[in-house]
Amino acid sequence: MLTGQEERTLAARRAGLLETRVCLRANRLLPTLDLGEIETLDAFLSSRVGPEAASHRLRLPQYAIPLLAREGLIRLSDNPYIAHHYGPFEIDEAEFVRFADVLRRRAPSSDLRDPVSLRVAARAIGGGVKPWGAIFRELITGRIPFVMKKVSIEGIFLSGSDAARIRTFETEAEDDVPIRQVSQRDAIEILNLPLKHANLLVSSPKAGQSLRRPIDYVLTLARTRVTLAELSARTAIHPARLEHMLDKQGCPR
């Protein structure tokens, strides 16, 4: 049970993170753990899918996981031991599979007109945190038809008209995003930057410097700048041609 975590387990019991039972042994009352809870935790930890792993498999940013949970699309672990030691946005493999199965059942088998991948469609949303919870709610409830070739935003396709529609979705308010710092990968997703330009987020990084950034810093950049990738997604003009057009018009970089 919770192999290799004996000291952590005892500390968690003392801190009230695990249920305590009192048993009678040799005329002595001794505190012990609840066997059912320990077995449940052991099973969860053996198939734990953290927000980083779940978001990587879906090709979503990590901040999308709590947004999906807020919409009731995935169920996060509510165990205080898991939240304390691993974080508040943990799921297990069974929950990930359930979410993937729901998407497969909702995806129609017919082709779409002018299909656009969800990844490309979302790139046209700028100025803040993308509303991934609202987007997936619309997909799962059937209000936005889609075709799915694989369980990721790269493998989900919308019609051209629905891709244009999600651009009108409001970005998440800063206070509604339950994350105060974002990873470098999440930051460039919010800003619609190519990965090769991630260095723009860090000026003269030092060895060992954290690449995580405060969400308010990233959102300030998002509100005051627009990237070539976002403009290309909005206009359907190739980035090279678009860059030439903007330079010709004297648009400041």
All residues at 6 or more sequence positions from 92 whose CB lies less than 8 Å from its CB, including other chains? 43, 44, 47, 48, 49, 77
Element (H, E) at 148: strand 147-148
- Range with the poorest average pLDDT among 101-105, 125-129, 223-227: 223-227
Which sequence spans correspond to the domains of the chain?
A: 33-201+209-248
Cβ within 8 Å of residue 117, ≥6 positions away: 153, 154, 155, 156, 157, 158
Phi, psi (rounded to 5 degrees) for 30: -125, 135
Residue 124 confidence (pLDDT) above 60: yes
Report the C-alpha gap between 180 and 202 in whole angstroms: 18
The residue with tokens 């320990």 is 38
Across the range 79-87, mean pLDDT stands at 83
Q: What is the pLDDT of residue 206?
A: 54
Q: Which one, of 158, 161, 205, 207, lies nearest residue 184 by Cα?
A: 205
Helices (H), 23-131: 35-46, 51-58, 64-70, 80-86, 93-106, 118-122
- The pLDDT, as a whole number, for residue 204 is 43
DSSP H stretches of helix in 107-183: 118-122, 132-140, 160-166
What's the predicted TM-score (pTM) here?
0.79
C-alpha span between 125 and 137 (Å, rounded): 17
For the chain, count helices (H), then strands (E). 13, 9
Q: With bands split at pLDDT 50, 70 and 90, how would you rate the model's confidence at 8?
A: low
| pLDDT tens for each residue of 187-233 | 999 999 887 777 777 644 454 556 788 888 888 888 888 887 888 87
Per-residue tokens: 196: 């090769």
Task: Give the range among 134-138, 155-159, 205-209 with minimum mean pLDDT.
Answer: 205-209
How far, rounded to the nearest angstrom, does the alpha carbon of residue 77 sit from its chain's CA centroid?
15
Distance CA 115, CA 238 (A): 17
Pairing state between β 181-182 and 213-214: antiparallel
What mean pLDDT is predicted for residues 11-36? Answer: 62
Higher pLDDT, 86 or 100: 100
Q: pLDDT digits over 52-77, tens only?
A: 999 999 999 999 999 999 999 999 98
Q: What are the distances in angstroms from CA 74 to CA 9, 87, 102, 111, 230?
A: 27, 16, 10, 27, 29
**Token reading at 238:** 């190739």
- Is the pLDDT score of 236 beyond 60? yes
Element (H, E) at 48: strand 48-49
Q: What backbone phi and psi angles, to 5 degrees, belong to 109? A: -85, -20
